[in-house]
Amino acid sequence: MAATSAPVPAYPDDPSRRGQRPNVASADVRLPAVRSYEQVDREIAATLHPSLGWFALLGVAILCMLIGAATWTYQIYEGLGAAGYHPPVMWGVYIVTFVFWVGIGHAGTLISAILYLFRAGFRTSIYRAAEAMTVFAVMTAGLFPILHLGRPWKFFYLIPYPNWRLIWPNPKSPLVWDVFAILTYLTISSTFLYVGLIPDIAALRDKETNPVRRQIYANMALGWRNSDREWRHFARAYLFLAALSTPLVLSVHSVVSFDFAMALTPGWHATIFPPYFVAGAIFSGLGMVFTIIIPIRKYFHLEHYVTLNDIDAAAKMCLFTSLVVGLAYLTEFQIAWVSGSTYEQDYFWNRVFGQWAWAAWIMLICNCVLPLSLFSQKLRRNTTWLWMLSLTINLGMWFERFVIVVPSLSHEFEPWRWSTYAPSWVDYCILLGSFGWFFMWFLLFIKQLPVLAISELKEVLPPKMRHPHVTSSQRAEHGGMANPLMNQPPLGGSH
């Protein structure tokens, strides 16, 4: 940690670029304060030692999770009436939170798969945390469709299991598509996470002294021996998984958006929903990445791995998706305006200037106005500002889903059934429980497995052992790729 005691200017080993504006959009990344593979191993492994603060946070998370679980038990016993539903608002906080968590789950795969294929160097330091976040967010999201059922104990009716009655789920229903989309996404993203973890687990295995943990790591490492052959297979597998995951980033949230777009409810029935939802999902996912990575970076003293350059680059993506989302909002209004449909026009007027104005403006300010600050590089590189902004993005994106779900249902075709909606304590407790559940898994993860990808970080370092005179920028100039996995002798592992 001594390496961070003094500020280090960018590109210390490249005099030709010293003093220039750091160009984080370039494909390359440098970790100036990281000198050796041993330092990477040591510093990342150090994050695995549990601290008192970690136990406290885990306790809070588990407590929240238990509150949620107890509330759900009560809700199952009592019936869904315990929640705040107010027909015809038949979907409320649970579906809102479902879409929220699915959205969060999108940034991880985007960062680890799409940016991998695009060779965006800044992904290296943040992708592991984002990927873990993805898996846990999808695990959280997956609870909600069950949790919101009137008869959750019958949820398996949605799964096409063989039965002698020959009754199958309805392939026309977007909810059935959801089941497949979410399960596929959970499978792929957890596989992706695990495959990427294998070399790191092997590294931990080799460092571990506790025999039990060592055995567990050994089992999880699947006998990784760091051979060239393994690296070749690994690289191929990783590439294919990245290619497989990439369309999922687009398709899963498109399918989730079909829950709404396929219905004829005013405010839902719009062809813009799939791209709009994907952009929103990435936006919210990046928000959550900031929420998670900034404290990790600070409290694990990983500033020299997760550099401001990386954060700056991610913030630019965040800004871009915010603009896409804002455009989508405007397009919705414009479509409603030109649609000639009184139902749509009434609904959108009611959304922004009627009973739901407060929610709509929370959404608009958090998602479209505040992120404009990211045009300023100063603020992009100000982690405090960015972290606070990430909280408002999370809030804003939760409210985006709220504004989609609730006001539409409360202001539909039939004026006699126009209504309102207010969540009850049951909704709030289960919402809290979902955060408890998510953070419980995430906190457990960061103390068991490396939250930064050890092997990939090593790849970024100049391969001193073999070509100590070649800096990474020179490597790039020589036609090298940003990610050495593709064409460099594999590095990393336990040496």
Partner 1 sequence: MPDADNSKTGGPTVRRREFLKVVGASGAAAATVGCTSEKVGKLIPYLVSPDETVPGVSTYYATTCRECSAACGAIAETRDGRAIKLEGNPEHPLNRGALCARGQAALQGLYNPDRFRGPMIKQNGTWKTALWEDAINVAAEGITRARAAAANAVFINQHESGSFPVFLDQWLAAYGMRPHLSVDLDADHAAIEANRRAYGVAWPRLNFADAKLIVSFGADFLDGWGASVAQQLDFADARAKLENGPRFVYIGPRRSLTGLNADQWIPCAPGAELAIANFLSGRGAAPARDQTGVDPAVLDQLRTELTTAKPSLVLSGVTTDNAGEVAAAVAALNQSLGNVGTTIRNAEPITAFDGMSSPAELFDTVERMRAGQVPIVFVRGVNPAYALPKSLNFAEAFAKVPFKVSFSSYPDETTELCDVILPDLHALESWGDAQPVRGTIALQQPTMDPVFANVRASADVLIALAKKDPAAAGRLTMKDYRTWLSGRFPGGDRGLTAALPHGLSAGTIAPRTAPTPTAAPRRVPALTSTSGDYTLVVYPSPTLGGNGANKPWLLELPDPVTKVTWGSWVEIHPETATRLGIDRGDIVELRAGNATVRAPAVPYLGVRPDVVAIATGYGHRAAATLPKFDAKSTTNPIQWGYGRYARNLGVNALDLLPPGTGSTGEFPLTVTKVSLTRVGDHITIPSTEGSARQHGRGIAQAINADDLARGLREGGEHETRPVGDASHEYLPGLRSPVAADAQGVLGAPSEPDQGKNKGLYDPNHPTRMASRRWAMAIDLSRCTGCSACVTACYAENNIPTVGAPWQNATLFATETPGFNITRGREMSWLRIERYFEGADEGRFGEEFETRFVPMLCQHCGNAPCEPVCPVYATYHAPDGLNVQVYNRCVGTRYCSNNCPYKVRYFNWFGYGEPDRKQYAFPEPLNWQLNPDVTVRGKGVMEKCTFCVQRIREAENRAALEHRELAPDEFTTACGAACPSRAIIFGDAADPQWTVAKLAQDRRAYHVFEELNTYTAVVYLKKVNHPTSAAAPAAPATPR
Task: Give me the residues that bind partner 1 (CB under 8 A), please.
Answer: 74, 78-82, 84-91, 145, 148-155, 157-158, 167-170, 172-176, 179, 259, 262-265, 340-343, 346, 409, 412-419, 424-426
Least Å distance between CB 379 and partner 1? 40
Measured CA distances, 178 to 146, 158, 251, 363 (Å): 12, 10, 11, 25
Least Å distance between CB 406 and partner 1? 11
* DSSP output for 184-223: HHHHHHHHHHHHHHHHHHHHHHHH--SHHHHHHHHHHTTT
Whether the CB-CB separation of 344 and 375 falls below 8 Å is answered with no
Least Å distance between CB 12 and partner 1? 58
Q: Which is nearer to partner 1, 151 or 467 (CB)?
A: 151
Residue with tokens 């160097």: 121
With 0-12 / 13-18 / 19 or more C-beta atoms within 10 angstroms meaning exposed / middle / buried, residue 26 is middle
Q: Which is nearer to partner 1, 176 or 335 (CB)?
A: 176
Here the tokens at position 448 are 């068991």
Q: Which is nearer to partner 1, 127 or 343 (CB)?
A: 343
Least Å distance between CB 48 and partner 1? 41
Determine the Cα–Cα distance for residues 378 and 385; give it in Å rounded to an integer.
Answer: 10
Q: Which is nearer to partner 1, 82 or 323 (CB)?
A: 82
The 3-state secondary structure of 112-166 reads HHHHHHCCCCCHHHHHHHHHHHHHHHHHHHHHHHHHCCCCHHHHHHHCCCCCCCC
Sign, Cα dihedral of 354, 358, 362, 363: negative
Here the tokens at position 44 are 């990342």
